[in-house]
């Protein structure tokens, strides 16, 4: 069986290293490992997302969907006073995110969780994601609908998706599902998308 970063328990040896990243004017050192997404550097798509969208401030409840080793979750917690839920199906990724949140001094506000362990009544003021496109369109759509349904009434969701991986069609699809979506940035072959909650799609 191939070892994917979206495996619950990566089969590869847990070989760790550190990578540097600069997010919203701050320098970070993250611990990464084999078996997690973009272990060798801050992913280009993630970097584009964090460069094209201003850092959030204030309080609230945020979701980092597909957190990986946690660069988005950590930066969100550092820049704001929000409670940040870092969600992933990969247990090794969640362990790394917790370690990186501790190193960044925000372990008290970064909550790592498997998807089914997030409290069912929790709504999110902001969702941030570099989604796992490679899980396939049916699973991707299922995942996005699950979490967009938990966007607060005035909430906003930020996504980065490669143009060649269907960024434009995903933008149209989210709008069709009742989550008006616009492109707010484009760089290095990636689309940065902003979706809002307009209520349930018409039946």
- Please provide the DSSP assignment of 63-131 as one string: EEET-TTSHHHHHHHHHSS-EEEEE-S-HHHHHHHHHHHHHTT-TTTEEEE-GGGS-TT--EEEEEE--
Long-range (24+ apart) CB contacts under 8 A made by 173-177 are: 173/141, 174/144, 174/148, 176/201, 177/145, 177/148, 177/201
Mean pLDDT of 142-167: 89
What pLDDT digit, counting tens, does each position of 71-102 carry?
A: 999 999 999 999 999 999 988 899 999 999 99
Strand partners, 185: 192
* Range with the poorest average pLDDT among 116-130, 137-151, 187-201: 187-201
> Shortest CA distance to 141 belongs to which of 128, 131, 151, 155?
131
Architecture of domain 43-196: 3-Layer(aba) Sandwich (3.40)
């Amino acid at each position: 069986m191939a070892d994917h970063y979206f495996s619950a328990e990566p089969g590869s040896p847990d070989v760790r290293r550190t990578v540097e990243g600069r997010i919203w004017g701050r320098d970070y050192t993250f611990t990464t490992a084999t078996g997690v997404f973009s272990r060798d550097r801050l992913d280009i798509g993630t970097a584009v997302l964090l460069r094209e969208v201003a850092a959030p401030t204030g309080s609230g409840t945020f979701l980092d969907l597909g957190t990986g080793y946690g660069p988005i979750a950590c930066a969100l917690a550092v820049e704001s006073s929000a409670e940040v839920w870092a969600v992933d199906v990969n247990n090794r990724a969640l362990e790394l995110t917790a370690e990186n949140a501790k190193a960044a001094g925000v372990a008290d506000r970064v909550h790592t969780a498997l998807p089914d362990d997030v409290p069912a009544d929790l709504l999110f003021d902001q969702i941030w994601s570099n989604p796992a496109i490679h899980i396939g369109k049916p699973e991707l759509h299922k995942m996005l609908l699950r979490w967009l349904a938990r966007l607060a009434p005035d909430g906003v969701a930020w996504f980065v998706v490669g143009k060649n991986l269907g960024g434009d069609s995903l933008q149209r699809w989210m709008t069709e599902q009742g989550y008006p979506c616009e492109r707010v940035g484009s760089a290095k072959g990636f689309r940065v998308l902003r979706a809002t909650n307009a209520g349930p799609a018409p039946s």
